[in-house]
Amino acid sequence: MAEPTELSYKARSHMLSHQQKALKMAGGRIYLAILILALCILSGECREEESSRKPNIVIFIMDDVGMGDIGCFGNTTMNTPNIDQLAREGAKLSQHIAHPICTPSRAALMTGRYAIRSGMCSYHIMRVISFISAPAGLPSNETTIAELAKTVGYSTGLIGKWHLGFTCSPDDGCSDPNSQGFDYFYGLPLTNILDCGSGTVFEAWRKNFYTEVAVALAVLNLTTFVLVMCKFAPQRMLYIVTVLSVLFYIFCLLIPRIIATMNCVIMENKRVVEQPLSYTNLTQRHTQKALKFLESNRDNPFLLVMSFLQAHTELYAEPHFRNSSRHGMYGAAVEELDWSVGQIMGKLHRLGLAQDTFVYITSDNGAHVEEFTKHGHREGGSNGIYKGGKANCFEGGIRVPTIASYPGVIPAGSEVSEPTSVIDVLPTVAGLIGAQVPTDRAIDGKDMMPLMTQHVDRSPHKFLFQYCGAYLHGARYTPPDGKAVYKLHYATVNFVPGPDGTLGCFDAYPCRCEGPTTIHHDPPLIYELTSDPSESSPLDPSTPEMRAIIAKAREAVRDHQASIGPTSYQFSFMKLMPRVSDQPCCGSFCQCTEDHSTEFSYDAIQPDIPRKDWTQSGHIGAS
């Protein structure tokens, strides 16, 4: 049977209207027509005539925010009233999964396909695009949600983080947002990294990087001095080693500034507007651009993707949020993100568009549990009861806090506990806006609307596959009957305790997908997630029931992998290396600053008071 589309959800009110007219003409039974209309309104299935307009789509993507970071998912130390309000108005998707790291996860969300199909995943340690000017990127022959929306007349905008490539190549075309279907783009072509702020990626990799380099160079110079004194080397060797050591150390000190100039860039469409970026009012600037996009497209159906930089390190937030946070800078970043959600939702209400807008909010992966400062202070988030975190395929790495809202269509205050995935976004949006899902390629996602509207009660996915980089680490199996959900791990990472006792990949930052810190399992580890969401008690693989599940999963994996055709691999060494000719730059010395002022004032913000109405002033609606 064909899956219901957006038109089928909204056509019912018009059908009932025609039925009422027929009843009046047939016998003048007005009381019956009134009764039908009343029942329709009470059930939430009738909409006003203007609702025949195609629904607007707003997608919020958080960065590195875990299942334990949001109030409606159980957090008690951070204040997220606006996201919590979305949950009250719609449905929480409590078993929604993503890829465990950002670039492949965002590629999957944009295309409805596992990232391996588009070549947007890695066989080595570098699992994200690391330079704006690198040739790696989402191939132009992929169809994104923005391109799909444009086929049916939508205006499309992306605000914030892209991280799916920004250059053009002869083989794969152009991968920047404007070339991938977005009419308007404002934000970071790459991502928010430590080098954009006060830290460096080297210090994240090795907490005492500069000390270790200095010690190594000192040992080298001392060894050379001893060799010279003992006449085993000429005296000029000491001068050469000393000069090269100093130059190398200076180069190490300059690398963060060089990387910041290359990668910490704000662009509007294809024009650089700030280089390197400043964190001053950065979330407010992004939010202001989003509000202007909504205002400009109030008379047209639109797709807005608001892709936050928070809560990826470098952490940042304005003083108001830093002063009110009970969870340090991380909490301030999440609360500032929540404020932005409130601003956008308030604008939709003031424009009279909220009733006809499908809203989806998720995170690109779980919280990064290995994020600590060099002084041992935690900078990452929480995954609640779930094991692991960003960069691995335990639930903490792939289960992400997700909410979907569509007034009058998705029941308010509901919860979907069945497995769903970021790959489901494209077919779900396609069904809502009446667009044709591509038929010339494998689309892994499924329309979530029947599940979210409670027309069905089981996941549309029999199997969901879990990739770490380009390696398949596991599979999720949902039998058609019962409520069990089985997860099979074919490979797992080896955890060690961190500074506060948290288990993570502290000896291999970040977690590796292959190699000595990875453990392969044959037979696979099996967990039943409904009764054991923390993955603490693996089931006995030798029982007849588990052997049957293992066999079904093996067959599904074989069929899935056989369906993956040849593609242009985007994570080869040469594609990840920067190209000077493609480096975006403003001015002769790649230095420019945009106006940091915004229209927002925080005098009236009271983050500890959740609002009941999006249109109220203060924390939620004011702009």
Question: Catalytic residue numbers?
Answer: 102, 163
Could you give the count of Cα atoms lying within 13 Å of 130 in the half-sphere of its Cβ? Answer: 16
Contact 356, 57 (CB under 8 A): no
Q: What is the DSSP string of 91-132?
A: EEETTEE--SSHHHHHHHHHHSS-GGGGT-S-SSS--S---T
CA 206/CA 219 separation, integer angstroms: 19
> 460-496 burial by CB neighbour count: b if 16+ within 10 A, else e?
bbebbbbbbbbbbbbbbbbeeeeeebbbbbbbbbebe
176: Cβ contacts below 8 Å, ≥ 6 apart: 137, 162, 165, 166, 167, 168, 185, 189, 270
Burial zone of 379 (CB within 10 Å; 0-12 exposed, 13-18 middle, 19+ buried): buried
Candidates 200, 214, 322; CA nearest to 264 is 200
- According to DSSP, the residues that pair with 526 across neighbouring strands are 488
CA 535/CA 528 separation, integer angstroms: 8
Peptide bond into 480 cis (omega under 30): no
Could you give the count of Cα atoms lying within 13 Å of 289 in the half-sphere of its Cβ? Answer: 24
> 45-76 burial by CB neighbour count: b if 16+ within 10 A, else e?
ebbeeebeebbbbbbbbbbbbbbbbbbbbebe
DSSP structure class, residue 72: G
Q: Quick one: how many helices (H) and strands (E) in the chain?
A: 16, 20
Angle between helices 102-111 and 425-433 (to 10 degrees): 30
Q: How far is CA 262 from CA 126, 258, 267, 445, in A?
A: 18, 6, 13, 35
CA 268/CA 583 separation, integer angstroms: 15
130: Cβ contacts below 8 Å, ≥ 6 apart: 190, 263, 576
What is the bridge-based pairing of β-strands 420-421 and 96-97?
Answer: parallel
CA 438/CA 450 separation, integer angstroms: 20
For the sheet with 184-188, list strands across it: 271-274, 266-268, 184-188, 155-161, 302-307, 56-62, 357-363, 402-405, 91-93, 414-416
Between vectors from CA 597 to CA 596 and to CA 598, what angle results, nearest 5°?
120
